[in-house]
Structure 1
Amino acid sequence: MSKIITGTPVTSGLGKLFNSHGLAKKTVVLFDANTRKLYGDSILKTLDEEGFQWVELTVPAREASKSFNSAYRLYGNMIEADVDRSWNLLAVGGGVVGDLGGYIAASYYRGIPVIQLPTTLLAMTDSSIGGKVAINHPLGKNLIGFFHLPELVLIDPSYLATLPEREIYSGMAEVVKYGFISDRAFLSFIDNHFSDIIALKEPFLTKAVKTSASIKAAVVKKDFRETGGLRATLNFGHTFAHGLEKLAEYRHLRHGEAVTIGMVCALFLSNRLGYLDNGSLEEGLAILGKFRFPRGVIRRRFRDIDNRLLLENMLSDKKKLDKKLRFVLLKNLGEAFLLEESIDDEVVLTAIERAQAFYSALSVKR
């Protein structure tokens, strides 16, 4: 399994760290335009001081960078720079850079090591850890990819200070998810310190990041290729979320925002099917009701959409099997499972309607 290191500054002693893990000090450093501007000079200076040979690559800071075209261009840059299989790749950024960098590392020379240096809360707690790397296709997100575990995951919570509040809330969705699926006590901690974590206050922030990362790593270790159903529980809320993201053209809704809405839908579905009691439903909704969205996003991207249209877009999700949607549901807060049997469309549509009503009522209260 990947070695996860959390600290500030996490890049201190990078050369010694690479040596101790059998990694050559020959690194392709992949940034997006934002992370290059914020952290590039400092990271490249560290590499120089630590005696690294490096090649710098940068992509636009947008979801569209996770494409065949971007990968093809970057392959060319690496070939022209004489990068061979003795090198590794350091991905510095959020989910886009982590996924794209991992995809390139998994495929270049049939696979070179990848080191993840996540700079967003979502990446620190989720996407950088599990070894699922992919690019998008016009017909769906993350459909083309590999299982390629990072050799190292380097987490520095201080990087989060550069993020706008919207990105913090987006990442917080994955943090809350871990409480819902596997750790009732952690969910209570999040509930009690939600505003502290959003405000990046310590020690609450680091505890939230470390706990989330450790839960993700433990699940991945037990079920790396999602063959036993355990890893699938990490997708709580995601079947709904990926349909929402597709409807939003992967541009108008952050992944974490879609997951937050998706978890609300999944709570209602768990309750409708008799797995989650009413008290637990209300407790879960109260936590998810703390999330803040930009003005008009919930209305335009969820409340006002046709629920059948959302269901249609969910059917393009890669998490379906034999053309049937797969849902992760809750038996209790902190206890998730993958529902193997199919569900009637009308039941799913009812869960979506109840979630839309929940957000309508929430907007009135605010």
Structure 2
Amino acid sequence: MSTILVRTPVITGLGELFTTHGLSKKTVVLFDEHTRKLYGESLLQTLHDEGFQCKELVVPAREASKSFSVAYRIYGSMIEADVDRSWNLLAVGGGVIGDLGGFIAASYFRGIPVIQLPTTLLAMTDSAIGGKVAINHPLGKNLIGFFHLPELILIDPSYLKTLPQREIYSGMAEVVKYGFIADEPFFNFLDLHFSDITSLKEPFLTEAIKKSAFIKADVVEKDFRETDGLRATLNFGHTFAHGLEKLAEYRYLRHGEAVTIGMVCALFLSYNLGYLDQQSLERGLSLLKRFRFPKGVVKRRFVAIDSELLLENMLSDKKKLDKKLRFVLLKKLGEAFLLEESVDESIVLKSIDDGRRFFSGKEAC
């Protein structure tokens, strides 16, 4: 499994770290335009000082970079630089770079090692961990990809100081998810220190990142290829979220924002189907009520959307199996399960309506 390091500064001593893990000092360093500007000089200087041979590559900082055309261009640059299977790839950025870099590493020379250096809260606690790497297709996100575990995941919480508040709340959705699905004491910790974490206060921020990262790593180790339903629990709220993202054209709603809304709907669905008691429902909703969205986003992208239209778009979700929606539900706070049987559409629609009423009138701070 991957080795996860959480520390500040995380890039100190990379030469020794790579050697210890059997990695060469020949590294393709993949940035997007933002991460190159923010971290490129210090990182590349550190690598140079520690004797690395590097090939630097930069792609646009947008979702559209997760495409065959961008990957093809990167392959060409790597071939021209004589990059062979003795090299590795260091992906520096958020989910887009982590996915793109992992996809390229998994496919180039039939697979070279990838090292993830996530720079967003969402990537640090979710997308950089677990080895699912993919690019998009015009007909859907993340449809073409591999399982390719990173050799190292290097997490530096201080990088989050460069992020706008919207990105912090977006990443916090995945953090909270782990409390819901796997660890009630962690849920209680998040409930108690939510504002400390979103304000990037220590030691609460680092504790939340570490706990989230290791919960996901543990789930992935037990069910790497999602064969027994355990890894599927990581998709709590995501069936609703993917429908919302599609309706927002993957542009106007952050993934974490969609997941936050999706978790509200999933809580109501768990309650409406009789799995979750009312007290747990209310505790879960109370925590999710503390999330903040840009003004008008929830109203335009969820509350104002017809429930039947959302359900229709959920049915195009790649997570469905045999054209059947798969829902991750809660039996209690800290215990999730994958519901195998079909759910009556009327109950799904009621849960969406319940979620819309929950968010009705809610605006950003």
Report the counterpart of residue 219 of structure 1 in structure 2: 219
Q: CA RMSD in A?
A: 1.0
In 2, Cα distance between equivalents of 1:363 and 1:170: 16
* Unaligned 5+ runs, structure 1: none
Report the counterpart of residue 299 of structure 2 in structure 1: 299
Letter paired with 2:173: A
Matches within 5 A, 1:51-66: 51-66=51-66
Asked if the contact 2:181–2:334 (Cα under 8 Å) also holds between the matched residues in 1, the reply is yes
Report the counterpart of residue 231 of structure 1 in structure 2: 231
Report the counterpart of residue 188 of structure 1 in structure 2: 188
Q: Secondary structure at the match of 2:263?
A: helix
Kindly tell me the number of residue pairs found equivalent between the two proteins.
365
Asked if the contact 2:298–2:362 (Cα under 8 Å) also holds between the matched residues in 1, the reply is no
Matches within 5 A, 1:131-170: 131-170=131-170
Matches within 5 A, 1:270-285: 270-285=270-285
Instruction: Report deviation, 1:306.
Output: 1.1
Matches within 5 A, 1:59-78: 59-78=59-78
Letter paired with 1:358: F
Percent identical among aligned pairs is: 78
In 2, Cα distance between equivalents of 1:363 and 1:292: 8
Report the counterpart of residue 290 of structure 2 in structure 1: 290
Instruction: Report deviation, 1:363.
Output: 4.9
Q: Secondary structure at the match of 1:253?
A: coil
Deviations 1:176-205 (A, max 9, x none): 000000100000100010000000000000
Asked if the contact 1:326–1:339 (Cα under 8 Å) also holds between the matched residues in 2, the reply is yes
Report the counterpart of residue 334 of structure 2 in structure 1: 334
Report the counterpart of residue 47 of structure 1 in structure 2: 47
In 2, Cα distance between equivalents of 1:255 and 1:216: 18
- C-alpha change, 1:361 and 1:296, in structure 2 (3 Å) is closer
Deviations 1:159-191 (A, max 9, x none): 000000000000000000000001000001000
In 1, Cα distance between equivalents of 2:81 and 2:288: 47
In 2, Cα distance between equivalents of 1:74 and 1:245: 27
Matches within 5 A, 1:1-366: 1-360=1-360, 362-363=362-363
Letter paired with 2:69: N
Deviations 1:123-161 (A, max 9, x none): 000000110000111111111110000000000000000
Letter paired with 1:312: E
Letter paired with 1:338: L
Q: Tell me whether 328-337 or 61-70 shows the greater mean CA deviation.
A: 61-70
Q: Secondary structure at the match of 2:292?
A: coil
In 2, Cα distance between equivalents of 1:48 and 1:149: 26
Q: Secondary structure at the match of 1:146?
A: strand
In 2, Cα distance between equivalents of 1:144 and 1:272: 35
Deviations 1:13-51 (A, max 9, x none): 100000000000000000011000000001000110010
Asked if the contact 1:139–1:316 (Cα under 8 Å) also holds between the matched residues in 2, the reply is no
Instruction: Report deviation, 1:362.
Output: 4.1
Letter paired with 1:315: L
Asked if the contact 1:141–1:242 (Cα under 8 Å) also holds between the matched residues in 2, the reply is no
* Unaligned 5+ runs, structure 2: none
In 2, Cα distance between equivalents of 1:265 and 1:329: 10
In 2, Cα distance between equivalents of 1:241 and 1:80: 40
Instruction: Report deviation, 1:106.
Output: 0.3
State the TM-score, normalizing by the size of structure 2. 0.99
